[in-house]
Structure formats: C-alpha cells, structure tokens
Amino acid sequence: MKFLDEAKVYIRSGDGGGGSVSFRREKFIEFGGPDGGDGGRGGDVWVETVNGLNTLIDFRYQQHFKATTGTHGMGRNRTGANGSDVTLKVPVGTQIFEEDRETLICDLTVEGQRYCLAHGGNGGFGNAHFKTSTNQAPDWANPGLPGEEKTLWLRLKLIADAGLVGLPNAGKSTFLASVTRARPKIANYPFTTLHPNLGVATIDEREFILADIPGLIEGAHEGVGIGDRFLGHVERTRVLLHLVSAQEEKVGKAYKTVKHELEAYGNDLTDKPEIVALSQIDVLDEAELKKKTKELAKACGKTPFQISAVTGKGMTEVLRALRDIIVEENTEEKPARVPKLRHRDMVVTDEGEDEADDQP
C-alpha cells in the first residue's frame, strides 16, 4: 500500500429542512389553525480514528464529503427527519488543519476519538410556531439554515515507538528490512526512501514499532531536500535510533548535521532518548573501524553501537537497547485521558466519567 501523509478534503454539512405551511383540515372544523411541522436538522460531518489504517491514501481517490439535507416539515405538526451524518475514517495520529494549513483544528491520538468538523444546519420552523393572538392563520414558515462548507487538510504523524534518523544512505531502510518484515525500497543513491516506512520488530518476545524516516540533509528544517514535513513523524516516537554510515568520510560531522536539524526543527526532538549506531561497518577494516568509532563517540558524547545489517553484527544489542528504553518510557507514562465526545459544557472521557469544563 502506498503511503500518503497529507491530503486535502472538501466537506459540507447538510442544510436544514424547511418548515411546513399547513392548516388543520377536518370535517366540521372550519378554522383548524396552523399545523405545519419543523424541518429536520442537516447531517454533520465527523472525523474518527480507526484501527488498521496507517496512511491517508484513501483521500486521494475521494476528496469530497457531503452530509445529507434534513427533510422538510409536514402537516399535522410532523417534524422532518434529520439528515444522515458523514464520517471520515482516519488513522491514529491524524491532525486536521484549516485551509491555511497552519491553524490546527484537532489532533487525534487515540483510537476511537471523534470530532465534529462541520455542524448541519438547523431545520426551519413550521407555521404552527408563528400563531399569535392577532394572527391565527400565519401563512409562512422558516427555511432551513444552510450547512457549513470547508476545505481542510489532513496530516498524519506516525505513532511509532522508535524512529530511525540519519543522513541519506545511512542504512536506515536496510536496518528496517533486516529486523522487520517491512520491505522498503533500498538502493545505493540518496533519497531512496521518499515516504516513511513502518515495521514491527520483535526481540525477546517483545514487539515495538519502528519508523524509517526519509534522510535528512543540512537545511531540512527549512524544506531543503525532501523537506521538513517528515520531521513531524519523529515527534511522536519515544526513542530515536541515529544511524551514521561508516562510509562517511567525517562521521562526526555527519552526526552533528542531523542533530542540528533536529534542534532547529524544535518541538523538543533533541530531548528524546537517543541511541547512536555506526552502521555499514562491514565495509571497514579493524583500524578504520576503531578510528571512526572514536570520532563518532567524541561527537555524540557516548559510545556508539557498531552494526551491520549485512552480517547481523550488533543488531540484537541495538534492538535490546531500544526495547529497554521503550519499556521504561511506557512505565513512566501516565494513561492519557482523551476527550472523545463534546456536548455543550461536558466532556465524556474514556473512563466514562463526566467532567464539567472550567467556568470563566
């Protein structure tokens, strides 16, 4: 399945149904009076996170979503039926932005979260509402209110336990393919990976999700290279695995380049736990390996792992180090209380408790 992490959609909620102009007509009742019913409410447009999705590719083929209009009111004070809602199914980790692509509407981080993107129009009043002491037979009714129409951007930030970062051709895709069943494109040229790839790694009967992020180059936070759009995927990971290729002439500089881009992007990316590994060591002899390991250790301030996806050297040790940090992060993290439905001033949480919003 092709990965797509950004999509543009057009939504419109349903119009409200019009009120009815009707009068009661029965035998022997000369002046029955007005009995026009109200129009039905237009359908809403919702967004909901579901399990089993990890891309926004479906929104490339369907971009327009419209809820149905409420039914018009009828005589005998019959209210029209409400319009049907429309729900956009999105992966966990999806953010919804206004048309300017900057104003955040909602951030959906938990499975089952729902958010109303556009409210349907209210139905119009029937003529029964307008009867007064001076006008016993009003011959007008209200039309239904129009629905809301919006252009929105959907942006997906992957939720993975560990993120692979590094310069292009640092061996990230090869690492992912060797420890998971993911099959990313692998070739000996920069920017082989054009989209993030996900894989599930298993070590000592413990599973965690790895995300292969496209390579970063100097200026990535400003959009150079593939751009900064993929740096957002790093935000939700618990730990970073920073791979530095042993084929780099200056491994210390290569490490600092990526580190600088993470710092420049902000959002506390550099505060995340980091594991550093010198990759592709099978191309070096012992003397060169020792030299580059020492240089990289000086740059990052810690002893880097030495790994080779080709020979398998050091792979198990790195996976166990990742697992230990992920387990520790999961233990320290408190369960999130995420609002799922909002109605007036009440928030319904996952625990089923009602909490009143703070009053000003």
E-assigned strand segments in the chain = 6-12, 45-49, 64-66, 86-90, 94-97, 104-108, 114-118, 149-156, 162-165, 197-203, 206-212, 239-245, 274-279, 305-306, 341-343, 346-348, 354-356
Residue 168 annotated as lining a ligand binding site: yes
Residue 214 annotated as lining a ligand binding site: yes
Residue 215 annotated as lining a ligand binding site: yes
CA dist., res. 19 & res. 38, Å (int): 5
Residue 195 annotated as lining a ligand binding site: yes
Residue 159 annotated as lining a ligand binding site: no
Q: Alpha-carbon torsion 242, 248, 254, 258, what sign?
A: negative
Residue 22 annotated as lining a ligand binding site: no
Residue 171 annotated as lining a ligand binding site: yes
Per-residue tokens: 56: 């926004």
Residue 212 annotated as lining a ligand binding site: yes
CA dist 336 to 56, 239, 301, 352, Å?
25, 19, 34, 13
Q: Alpha-carbon torsion 319, 321, 326, 328, what sign?
A: positive
Residue 166 annotated as lining a ligand binding site: yes
Residue 167 annotated as lining a ligand binding site: yes
CA dist., res. 251 & res. 73, Å (int): 73
CA dist., res. 157 & res. 103, Å (int): 16
Residue 65 annotated as lining a ligand binding site: no
CA dist., res. 77 & res. 73, Å (int): 8
* CB-CB contact of 137 with 130 (8 Å): no
Residue 194 annotated as lining a ligand binding site: yes
Residue 173 annotated as lining a ligand binding site: yes
Residue 192 annotated as lining a ligand binding site: yes
CA dist., res. 354 & res. 347, Å (int): 6
Residue 38 annotated as lining a ligand binding site: no
CA dist., res. 207 & res. 271, Å (int): 24
CA dist., res. 77 & res. 10, Å (int): 36
Residue 284 annotated as lining a ligand binding site: no
CA dist., res. 287 & res. 356, Å (int): 66
Residue 193 annotated as lining a ligand binding site: yes
Which of 275, 330, 343, 335 is CA-nearest to residue 306? 275
Per-residue tokens: 267: 């959002």
Residue 204 annotated as lining a ligand binding site: no
Annotated binding site: 166-173, 191-195, 212-215, 279-282, 308-310
Annotated binding site for GTP: 166-173, 191-195, 212-215, 279-282, 308-310
Annotated binding site for Mg(2+): 173, 193
